[in-house]
Structure 1
Amino acid sequence: MAQLERTHLAIVRAVDQHGSLTAAAEQLHLTQSALSHAIRKLEDQLGVAIWTREGRRLRPTQAGAYLLAVANRLLPQLTQAEERLRQFAQGERGTLRIGIECHPCYQWLLKVVSPYLAAWPDVDVDVRQEFQFGGIGALFAHEIDLLVTPDPLYTGGLRFEPVFDYEQVLAVGAGHRLRGLPYVQPEHLAEETLITYPVALDRLDIYTRFLLPAGIRPKRHKPIETTDILLQMVAGGRGVAALPRWLVDEQAGKLDLGAVRLGAQGIAKQIFVGIREREADIDYLRAFVALARDHGDGVGSSVSG
């Protein structure tokens, strides 16, 4: 049985990402014939087929899917380890890679990043909003170093710290029939166009904590990727959206927006920052968490207020 090498994992990942030998070979800086030879040799050494051909594409077998999962988990860790060692050798701290699962929190994050960069001139910041495995998976796989999320997963190896509380409210435009109500009930949205970020319904609080328990669905559901466009749509009377109160209040001075409580008790939420537990003592990570908490003060709005 052959010993797995990093090149084997890189081949498996490249073939999966591109689906064709030509594109995979180009990424790996190999000729197509050299890659074909490496694939045959790997399968011969392992004694099991890794791919099956479907037309011009290669699909992983069961063994190949397992090896691909290993490659997706280990390769980012190896890359990060090499980069960290290079940074240590050159006296650098490197890049803080921040993942964000809270679309509207991007605006808040910008306010944290600016003073952080000023305080830590030897640390760069990279913000990522799309992950191959989701935010938690990206944190485990070392694709990111820190995750901003409203939905922490308390599991071994990760630490989540709350940075601010906020209230989820219904944002409505000028002259909307619901504007001015003390609060809305789920049935109020049965005839509305609900605008949300392009997120699965089971991760949208407006559905899981408000509409679905009451057996209600909006007349229309419209996903919008960008916060600025979403707010413009709401302000223009094209629909309503569930957003943090702090964001609606902040934008009310630029756009004619109103915030209406969701239910008599409102919907309380928290934003958390997650890091890998074994890296909790790294100074520039601790500094970012502390700065995020400082900038969270005054952002959140109490549900009881």
Structure 2
Amino acid sequence: MIEARDLTKQYGDKTAVHDLNFTVRPGIVTGFLGPNGAGKSTTMRMIIGLDAPTSGRVTVNGRQYRDHRAPLREVGAMLEARAIHTGRSARNHLLAMAATTGIGRRRVDEVIDLVGLHEVADRRAGQFSLGMGQRLGIASALLGDPATVMLDEPVNGLDPEGILWIRNLLKQLAAEGRTVFVSSHLMSEMALTADHLIVVGRGTLIRDVPVAEFIASASSNSVRVRTPDPSRLRALLTGEAVSVSSSTEGQLDVTGLSTDEIGLRAAAAGIALLELSPVQASLEQAFMELTADAVEYRTLSSSREEVAA
């Protein structure tokens, strides 16, 4: 479990993290989201003691990282996959790490096999592709068989098979009762992997909710209807406090009526329906809507669009 209480980090007059409070619980995959400059990396660095908080406190499994006698066995972290000696082989890199905590060679072989690096384990890490380096970083995080796993952008550089592998691995780790904390900019992947989200912007907490609740909060109360007779259905549904629009031939977007109400009216009038479904935002749409005011860096085209609006 990871617990942050009143966590604040300042660099001179720049506040990277401000009064951050959250708990990452075991047994689920928790996604850590936020725009660039939101304070995610700084927060993760403070969790494992690479940066000291200006004020506040963060603990892993009840203790600050530095107070654990064998930190690698408590929390496995990957913040920068390529932060390795490029002249060492993958195997020797892991053996060197293992030696610091009394981890045996057998565990090194296990994680090499787990991440799919068996055939290249004796190749120098400097010759690795981005995806292979990412797998080595994940192996390093899992080396101590930790109760808490924290990964920053774990799918970066992975091919589709690798992305599916890491998705299943994270779910498996959570199912084993471990605490899994993952930062990513790939909203589509987070939607498939995470159970809970912690969203930050400009160093402060924006939301701390289950994924389904996060998406539902950004979804409109409209219903998508497809029918071979859109004109009749539009006339039937349009009324006070009900709006009907159409962006595609044969499809209506209805606001102000539930799916049940629309279905019953259509059935009574003998109008066939090909689709009747609530319109739900994607995780990406929900994220963009919620963090619109917390984006630190914008493209020139986005700024012009806002001025025009």
Fold similarity call, TM over 0.5: no
TM-score by length of 2: 0.28
